[in-house]
Amino acid sequence: MKAVAAFALLAAGARAAPHYTFPKLAGTADWSSVRMTANFQSNGPVTDVNSDAIRCYQQATGGAAETTEVKAGGTVTWVANPNIYHPGGYVWTLSAYMAKVPSGQTAATWDGSGKVWFKIYQDMPTTSGGQYTWPSNGKSQIPFTVPQCLAEGDYLFRVEHVALHSASSAGGAQFYLSCAQLRVTGGGSGSAKEPGELVSFPGAYKATDPGIMINIYNNGGKAYQPAGPGVFSC
């Protein structure tokens, strides 16, 4: 699987803000197929990787009203509100996960618990002069490719952006995330591939993981080590 490398350009005149939400997929209404997050008014982050909020940050139990259909190998574009930007250069690491809904449930009814999540995308920064530069900074829309080899069925799709500007101590990283409800069609039945490295939320991260507890202003030029599993590939 190859995630789409290019990101949609920031809309001219979009306002800057340090906090934000992921309220929708492109082409849908806010919170229609994305589960409303507890920060839908405050835009505040999750900071405890051991809390249930690290899974989907839901305002309440239960799913969204709709489920968005997408073909295996197709593109899902997350929309941030406002754009992912802050004066002074906040540093963000972006990843995306999916989880297949078990038999007997739907994307709208399942809570996503257990070791069921696999990573489909992880961005990496460039390093210059000991400083990281991330490709997602300043974007308002972020597209991802659904793996072509996934079996058909309902899935939860979790987008995660982690702000690392205060991450030099445990609990300082700020997680901005949402879960969308997807129905994947056109996947290979006989050729479908089962993701091997599955994690749970909470459980996938420790507060002291190198990609979560890090001093980005004095990293010695070290390569960034993302938290969580490797990226699933067809």
Say if residues 20 and 83 touch (Cβ distance below 8 Å): yes
For residues 122 and 229, give the distance between their C-alpha atoms in angstroms, rounded to a whole number: 10
Q: pLDDT tier at 217 (50, 70, 90 boundaries)?
A: confident
| Closest to 79 (Cα-Cα) out of 19, 11, 26, 147 | 26
For residues 151 and 138, give the distance between their C-alpha atoms in angstroms, rounded to a whole number: 34
What is the reported pLDDT for 132? 80
Q: Tokens at residue 3, please?
A: 């995630």
Residues 110-135 have a mean pLDDT of: 88
Residue 211, pLDDT above cutoff 60: yes
Look at domain 21-185 and name its CATH class.
Answer: mainly beta
SS (H, E, C) 25-58: ECCCCCCCCECCECCCCCCCCECCCCCCHHHHCE
Residues 103-125 have a mean pLDDT of: 96
Looking at the chain, the whole-number percentage of residues with pLDDT higher than 90 is: 64
Residues 51-71 have a mean pLDDT of: 94
Say if residues 57 and 158 touch (Cβ distance below 8 Å): no
Average pLDDT over the chain, rounded to an integer: 86
What is the reported pLDDT for 131? 76
The distance from CA 28 to its chain's CA centroid, rounded to whole angstroms, is 18
Which of 81-95, 103-117, 213-227 shows the lowest per-residue confidence on average (mean pLDDT)? 81-95
Say if residues 36 and 181 touch (Cβ distance below 8 Å): no
Helix (H, G, I), strand (E, B) or coil at 116: coil
Condensed to tens digits (0 to 9), the pLDDT of residues 6-48 reads: 223 222 223 334 578 999 999 999 999 999 999 999 889 999 9
Q: Tokens at residue 12, please?
A: 């001219």
What is the reported pLDDT for 129? 72
Query: E-strand spans in 20-152?
Result: 21-25, 68-71, 75-81, 92-100, 117-122, 126-128, 131-133, 141-145
Residue 4, pLDDT above cutoff 50: no
For residues 83 and 167, give the distance between their C-alpha atoms in angstroms, rounded to a whole number: 21
Relative to beta strand 174-185, strand 68-71 is: parallel
| Closest to 216 (Cα-Cα) out of 176, 169, 161 | 169
What is the reported pLDDT for 148? 94
Rama region for 52: left / alpha / beta (φ>0; ψ in -120 to 50; rest): alpha
What is the reported pLDDT for 106? 98
Relative to beta strand 126-128, strand 131-133 is: antiparallel
Rg (CA), the chain: 17
What is the reported pLDDT for 83? 62
Say if residues 140 and 80 touch (Cβ distance below 8 Å): yes
Ordered by start, the domain boundaries in the chain are 21-185
Residues 128-157 have a mean pLDDT of: 87
Condensed to tens digits (0 to 9), the pLDDT of residues 68-98 reads: 999 999 999 999 987 665 444 557 889 999 9
User: Which range is most confident: 47-56, 90-99, 219-228?
Assistant: 47-56
What is the reported pLDDT for 192? 79
